[in-house]
Amino acid sequence: MPRIMGVTKVRHDFTAVVNEADEHGQPIYLTNFNEPRAVLIGYEAFENLLQRIDDLEDALAIYAGREEPREPFEEAWAEIEQEAADREQVSAAAGQVR
Do 40 and 11 form a contact (C-beta atoms < 8 A)?
A: no
CATH number of 3-41: 3.40.1620.10
Domain boundary assignment for the chain: 3-41, 44-97
Summarize pLDDT for 9-54 with one digit per residue, the tens. Answer: 999 999 999 999 999 889 999 999 999 999 999 999 999 999 999 9
Distance of CA 58 to the CA centre of its chain: 16
Q: Is the pTM of this model over 0.85?
A: no
Angle of the 43-64 helix axis to the 14-24 helix axis, nearest 10: 50
Q: Give the mean pLDDT of the chain.
A: 86
